[in-house]
Amino acid sequence: MNVALFGFMGVGKTAVGRALSKKTGLEYVDLDSEIARRKGKTIPQIFEEEGEAGFRAVEREVTREVAGRNGQVIACGGGTVLDPENVASLRRSSVMVLLTAEPRVILERVEEEGDVRPLLMVEDKLGKIERLLNARLPRYLEVADLMLDTSEMTPEEAAVEIISQIGDVDSA
């Protein structure tokens, strides 16, 4: 069994994923890091050079491969579950955990990380976050087995909550 963490950028997929991996002994896999490693480029470079369609194509391939293994905490990219093929791959072996956060918290976290997010290269970042969240939320809710708001939680607290809700993931 795997635990797939998904949701919008800045909700804590990486930090919660690492904490969950540490607490359960499951291997931690970050899909965006795998994509960047495979392409030898950063995610922004892939978007710039190959466009979103090029990025999504390699994302499908990597998601299929990673989801084919067991015993992992998989941190998905913000748009991974928007693709039905990715969802089908992940559902075969994963509990789907939606992480959420308030838009202002998302913006604070992304800015704290100093991250350059291709989708936030706009003037009104908070407005863009709100619009994208509203557009994605129905799909996110449709895919989720479990939902957790991380706005007021540390990654460790979120990991403990996930374990309490899905049970003993390391022996499943």
Give per-residue pLDDT as tens, 89-136. Answer: 999 999 999 999 999 999 999 888 765 665 666 788 899 999 999 999
Q: Say how far apart CA 119 and CA 133 lie, in whole Å.
A: 12
| Under 8 Å between Cβ of 79 and 32 | no
**Tokens for 56?**
């999504």
Predicted confidence at residue 119, as pLDDT, reads 64
27: three-class secondary structure by DSSP: strand
- Of the pLDDT bands very low, low, confident and very high (cuts 50, 70, 90), residue 44 is confident
Predicted confidence at residue 135, as pLDDT, reads 92
Residues in the chain: 172
Q: Say how far apart CA 85 and CA 112 lie, in whole Å.
A: 33
Predicted confidence at residue 138, as pLDDT, reads 94
Residue ranges of domains in the chain, CATH in brackets = 2-166 (3.40.50.300)
Mean pLDDT of the chain: 91
Model confidence over 137-172: pLDDT tens digits?
Answer: 999 999 999 999 999 999 999 999 999 999 865 544
- What is the pTM (predicted TM-score) of this model? 0.89
Q: What is the mean pLDDT of residues 44-52?
A: 90
**Tokens for 82?**
């928007």
Q: What is the mean pLDDT of residues 78-89?
A: 93
